[in-house]
Amino acid sequence: MSTLKGKVVLVGDTSVGKTAIVNCFNRLSIDVSPTIGANSITCNVKLDSGETVQLNIWDTAGQDDFQCLVPMYARCAQVALVVYDQTQPSSFASTEKWIDHMKNSVGVPNVFLVGNKMDLNEVVETEKAIEFAESHQVKFFRTSALNGNGVDDLFQEIAIVVNTPEKQSEEVQPVFKTDVHLEETKDKKKTGCC
C-alpha cells in the first residue's frame, strides 16, 4: 500500500503560535523564535484504518514583510490552517482576510480555522469563533501548543481530509490573476557622439 501525500500550510498573524503547533505535533521544543519566510517539515500520520498519510507542512511567517510570499508556499496545498491567538482579538479579526486569501486567491480547497492558546483565558469567545467558521464554511479547531491539547486531533483530521478519495482525485490549481501587456518599441536612431 502506497503512502498518500498531502501539503498543509499554516497562515495567520505573527505570534499566534503557528510554529509552536507544528513543533508540538512533531514533538519538538515549543520555545521558538519568529519564522522568517517559511519552514517546512514532513510528518507521517497513521490513520485508524492503518493507512499512513505523509504531510508536508509549511509554516509561514506572519510578519507583514513576508506575507507576499505566502501564495508561493501555499501553492497546491490541500489544507490551509488559519491560526489565531484566542487571547488576541486582533489576530481573530485578521482571519477573515486569511480565509478569503487561501480560498479565493490561492485556491486551497480545505481551510480550517484554528484557535490556539486554549490553555490561557479566552478573550475571543469559542462560540463566536464557531459561528464565524460556520458562516465561512470552514472547520474549526481549538489547540494548545503548550500542553498539546487538540493538536493531534487537528492533524488526524487533516490526514483524513487528504485521504478522502474525492480529494485525492482533485488536482489543486492555484489561482493567479495576472495581466501582461507587451508593447512593441521602435528603434531609435542614434544621434550625437554616444
Q: Does residue 187 or residue 59 have the better pLDDT?
A: 59
* Number of compact structural domains in the chain: 1
* pLDDT tens figures, 77-97: 999 999 999 999 999 999 999
Residue 183 resides in a domain: no
Residue 5 covered by a domain:
no
- Residue 154 is predicted with a pLDDT of 96
Interval 14-42 mean pLDDT: 72
Q: Please check whether residue 57 lies inside any domain of the structure.
A: yes
For the whole prediction, is pTM greater than 0.75?
Answer: yes
Question: Is residue 180 a part of any domain in this protein?
Answer: no
Between 181 and 4, where is the model more confident?
4
Q: What percent of the chain has pLDDT over 90?
A: 51
**54 burial level (CB within 10 Å; 0-12, 13-18, 19+):** middle
Report how many helices (DSSP H) and strands (DSSP E) the chain contains, helices first: 7, 6
Q: Is 145 part of any domain? A: yes
Q: Which residues contact 109 (CB under 8 A, 6 or more apart)?
A: 78, 167, 170, 172
Question: pLDDT band for position 165 (50/70/90)?
Answer: low
> 5 forms bridges with which residues in the sheet?
54
Give the residue, 94 or 189, on which the prediction is more confident: 94
Average pLDDT of the segment spanning 61-88: 79
137, part of any domain: yes
**Residue pair 106/78 in contact by the 8 Å Cβ criterion:** no
Residue 176 lies in a domain: no
Say which CATH number the domain at 32 has. 3.40.50.300
192 within a domain of the structure (yes/no): no
Q: Note down the domain range covering 113.
A: 12-167
